Amino acid sequence: MSADEERDGVPLTHLDQVLSDGDDATKRDLVDYLDAVHQRILPGLEGRPLSVVRVRPGQPGFMQKNIPKYAPSWIPTVKTWAQASKREVSYALCNDRRTLLWFANQRAVEYHPTLVKADAWDVPTHLIMDIDPPEGETFAAAAAAAQLVRQALENDGLTGAVKTSGSKGVHIFVPLEPQSPEDVAAATRAVAARAERLDPSLATTAYIKDDRGGKVFLDSTRAGGATVVAAYSPRLRPGLPVSFPVSWDRLDTVTPGDFTVHTALALLGDDDPWAAAMPAPQRLPADLVEEGHTIPVARVAAMHEGKRRARERRE
């Protein structure tokens, strides 16, 4: 297959093809954007097992974890056992511009690294809070709930950086000193619970959707080997929005649609706001971890509650 052009030794093909149905963004738009931000996005990808969302012409997007067998041998990989699918998965490590360009040429739109490094699977690097507005609400609701999380963190001497998810809501990142995945997961649950207590009319930690009562869900389940979309990653949504860093004092003045592959570069200029906003790694306070260990894991609690309700219906 002849290439339209080549960058960093990577042949790039069919650059003028439209990426997805119902949108006018082309593969060239994707490649040019990722190439322009490669120095900003790569620090969040380097050394981390990577899942991507790809899109083929005329087809819906799909998540890809296993690197294809036809991938170049120069892309480093790491293998791990996937308990959910009962198979070994070979993840790519996107450590450089050449690998990023290769993925872009494969029409990989979204980049979802793990919260751990490949050489330290039991050491989460960040505490993450994932916040989306409830159905029928706007981004403003998620932004308001994010400020509750910010206050809960500050009350315990912690600080974090915030970005749009590129979809409906926001992600809050708190970089951590090395701590066990169990303690990080517990602390995440405690932060969510404390944020909920600050304004229970706005936010909820209820994992079962029907129990949320139209409130903003503070998702504390991004822990351990979970993934989260990288800062600056495009999202496979109309207009190709990107996950974009926002300062805390501007969070209530923006919407996710303000940041796309077409607008983000002009807004960035020469800056890297994600790197600038990210605080140094922090130690989780003991009281936060202790409280978190008293809070049931959301998915497990929801499973047991679902079974209980099913029994009641049968009876």
CB within 8 Å of 265: residues ≥ 6 apart = 33, 36, 37
Assigned token pair, 5: 């052009």
Mean pLDDT of the chain: 92
Predicted confidence band at 139 (pLDDT cuts at 50, 70, 90)?
very high
Q: What is the pLDDT of residue 312?
A: 47
Assigned token pair, 236: 């496979």
pLDDT tens digits for range 185-213: 999 999 999 999 999 999 999 998 889 99
Q: Which domains does the chain have, with CATH numbers?
A: 5-113 (3.90.920.10), 123-224+280-306 (3.30.70.3300)
Q: What is the pLDDT of residue 302?
A: 47
Tell me the average pLDDT across 75-93. Answer: 88
Does residue 3 have a pLDDT over 90?
A: no
CB 40 within 8 A of CB 276: no
Assigned token pair, 212: 């949320």
The number of residues in the chain equals: 315
Tell me the average pLDDT across 250-260. Answer: 96
Does residue 91 have a pLDDT over 70?
A: yes
Q: What is the pLDDT of residue 21?
A: 78
CB 46 within 8 A of CB 94: yes
Residue 238: closest CA among 142, 134, 109: 109
Q: Which pTM does this prediction carry?
A: 0.93
CB 91 within 8 A of CB 113: no
Predicted confidence band at 223 (pLDDT cuts at 50, 70, 90)?
confident
Tell me the average pLDDT across 292-311. Answer: 61
Predicted confidence band at 299 (pLDDT cuts at 50, 70, 90)?
low
- Residue 29 burial (C-beta neighbours within 10 Å; 0-12, 13-18, 19+): buried
**Whole-Å CA distances, 224 to 143, 180, 254:** 25, 9, 30
Predicted confidence band at 309 (pLDDT cuts at 50, 70, 90)?
very low
Give the side-chain half-sphere CA count within 13 A for 103: 34
